[in-house]
A = this chain, B = another copy of it.
Amino acid sequence: MANDNENKSIKMRDVADHVGVSVATVSRALRNPEQVSPAVRARIAAAIDTLGYLPDPAARALASTRSDLIAVILPSVSNNVFADVMDGIYAAAEGTRYSVQLGYSRYSPLSEENLTKLFLRQRPAGIVVTGIDQTDATKTLLGQANCPVVQIMETGPEPYDRMIGFSHYDAARVATAHLIAQGYRAPGFLGARMDPRTQRRLHGFRDELRAQGLEEGRRVHTTTRPSSVTLGSYLLGELLSVAPETDAVFCINDDLALGAMFEAQRRNLRVPESLGICGFNDMEMMGAAEPALTSVRTFRREMGEGAIQMILDALAEKAPASEPVLDLGFEVVARTSTQRGG
């Protein structure tokens, strides 16, 4: 209401005129303040303030061949796991000069490739991608990207640049070991979507069973359909009809675990006595459920924050942190749902 000047967007020229210096000086005051005398710098700051100047990101990007965007490619919008990651990403980017440009690959490597091309075209300040299962073309693109690249959600031997995550394989092995340690002798596996990360969890489950001398029998039940609580109920039903001896289930995520628990209640199967249940990710609800559900805690928010921090560090040319691959680990949070006498 007060200021009509907000209308005809103020540009750097206006600020320069207002102060009585050239646009170059204003530009420098913004990008490399130490090159401008304190007095002028202060007057410029004041002018920017009173005029309400905001730089045009397009012009900036064009002139400097570098945008202030951090591109982030995630597989899914609706998966809660990534909501937490995003939370960390936005929190870490907040207050910096960078803003986040988000893309969703819908678990399709091809779609991921297209997004990568699109984003790289913007000359981003950094790029965050999920996992390690890119197409060859994407690998090439990311390998020669001239900005920091961070892979999240996993650890692995050959990062394009840097990596922050944990081992899905190890996490599944430890969770399976937990079930066995609790006395379950016929644990089953419930999986949905079955993207690469989920597959690695399945491998971990299988290897641990084998290592402990147990048979997996017909107790691995998976589908490529997207995960949901309803699906968890359904899969448990299927599993029990195929393999009635099942005495526990390791679910590749918490939604499935919750669904399995509801289904167990419907069938008057006692949890944890007759059926142990272990989820994955340890979303907030797991501790609140009745009975409380065991899960593998993962550090999702921290992965998001860490990824952005890695990029900021790289841009600030801080000494590259000792290790290019940061393993955040995981933690089996044992709760009632697997607390069997022994």
Give residues in A with beta carbon < 8 Å to B: 1, 6-7, 9, 54-62, 67, 77-78, 80, 83-84, 86-87, 90, 99-104, 117-118, 121-123, 136, 140-141, 144, 228-230, 232-233, 255, 258-259, 262-263, 265-266, 284-285, 287-290
Contact = CB atoms under 8 A, between A and B. Distances in A.
Main secondary structure of the interface of A (DSSP, over half): helix
Contact of A284 (B55, B117, B228): B228
Contact of A290 (B101, B228, B262): B262
A141 B6 contact: yes
Given A101-B101, A102-B100, A288 B233 contact: yes
A87 to B, nearest CB: 5
A15 to B, nearest CB: 14
Contacts of A144: 7
A19 to B, nearest CB: 21
A218 B328 CA distance: 46
Nearest to A286: B229
Contact of A229 (B141, B263, B288): B288
A103 B230 CA distance: 31
A284 B229 contact: yes
* Nearest 8 Cβ contacts at the A-B interface: A58-B61, A229-B285, A229-B288, A262-B290, A230-B288, A58-B62, A265-B290, A77-B87
Nearest to A52: B117
A285 to B, nearest CB: 4
